[in-house]
């Protein structure tokens, strides 16, 4: 069974349809990069996977479980917030902005979820936070506050915080877009390491080199629709849809 199944997903804001009949599956251990121009629906789709946005039609399953809803008599009924929050534990999400709590240290930011949501004791959570900081290249920075860290370091703390919840699926919404160019590589390096260890990842990105080298598949959206998908080198080098070619700056 696919780890993610999106079936005929539609999402509208008023009269604007931002996602139209999205059909997508992602297998366990697969890295999928979502590409496309701004406003094509990429970030909205990620937020629907995590039920930060409600879908208007269709279904999304993560690890075989319906996201955000239960089905009764053929109709979907939204779950209560506690059940929605429990379902979100399966997915970790890293946003464009780091969203760290400024009054907490790096280690405390990472420990917060396991302590409050998973019921992990303080000593265990602290040890796991230290191990995760080392994993993302920030050994010894646990006592640092966000203001004492560079943007790239803060984003790596945000990745560690998401990993602390032991998710089955990681969602990245343009994780390097708010960084200075010289800091992009350190975040992408952590993401490459995650891919190498078999983490299932869906990444919204404009980093084409990362998509080419790390993704198993790229999916191109335009106008809220999937217009093309396939192996990175095939799509990036020889796109079949003129809209993909235009986005990549290529000619067909």
> Structural domain tally of the chain?
1
Residue 238 has pLDDT above 90, yes or no: yes
Residue 67 has pLDDT above 90, yes or no: yes
Residue 120 lies in a domain: yes
What is this structure's pTM?
Answer: 0.95
Which has more pLDDT, 252 or 67? 67
- Model confidence at 217, in pLDDT bands (50, 70, 90)? very high
Using the structure block, give the residue that is written with the tokens 């966000």.
146
Residue 244 lies in a domain: no
- The residue range of the domain holding 136 is 101-166
CA–CA separation, 111 vs 123, rounded Å? 10
Residue 115 lies in a domain: yes
Whether the CA torsion 158, 160, 164, 166 is positive or negative: it is: positive
Residue 153 lies in a domain: yes
Residue 105 lies in a domain: yes
Residue 236 has pLDDT above 90, yes or no: yes
Residue 150 has pLDDT above 80, yes or no: yes
Residue 180 lies in a domain: no
Residue 173 lies in a domain: no
**pLDDT value of position 58:** 96
Residue 69 lies in a domain: no
**pLDDT value of position 63:** 95
- The arithmetic mean of pLDDT across residues 142-169, rounded, is 97
How confident is the model over 170-186, as pLDDT tens digits?
999 999 999 999 999 99
Residue 139 has pLDDT above 90, yes or no: yes
Residue 251 has pLDDT above 80, yes or no: no
């Amino acid at each position: 069974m696919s780890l993610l199944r999106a079936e005929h997903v539609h999402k509208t804001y008023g009269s604007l349809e931002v996602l139209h009949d999205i059909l997508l599956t992602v297998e366990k251990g697969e890295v999928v990069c979502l590409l496309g121009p701004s406003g094509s629906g990429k970030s909205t789709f990620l937020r629907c996977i995590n039920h930060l946005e409600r879908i208007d039609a269709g279904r999304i399953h993560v690890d075989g479980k319906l996201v955000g809803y239960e089905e009764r008599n053929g109709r979907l009924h939204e779950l209560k917030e506690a059940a929605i929050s429990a379902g979100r534990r399966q997915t970790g999400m890293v946003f464009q902005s780091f969203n760290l709590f400024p009054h907490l240290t790096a280690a405390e930011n990472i420990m917060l979820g396991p302590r409050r949501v998973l019921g992990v004791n303080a000593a265990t959570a602290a040890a796991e936070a230290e191990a995760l900081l080392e994993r993302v290249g920030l050994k010894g920075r646990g006592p640092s506050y966000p203001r004492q860290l560079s943007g790239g370091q803060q984003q790596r703390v945000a990745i560690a915080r998401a990993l602390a919840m032991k998710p089955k699926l990681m969602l990245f919404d343009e994780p390097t877009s708010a960084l200075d160019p010289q800091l992009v590589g350190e975040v992408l390096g952590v993401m490459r390491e995650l891919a190498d260890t078999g983490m299932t990842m869906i990444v919204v990105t404009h980093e084409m080199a990362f998509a080419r080298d790390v993704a198993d598949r790229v999916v191109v959206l335009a106008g809220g629709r999937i217009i093309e998908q396939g192996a990175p080198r095939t799509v990036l080098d020889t796109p079949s849809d003129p809209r993909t070619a235009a986005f990549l700056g290529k000619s067909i």
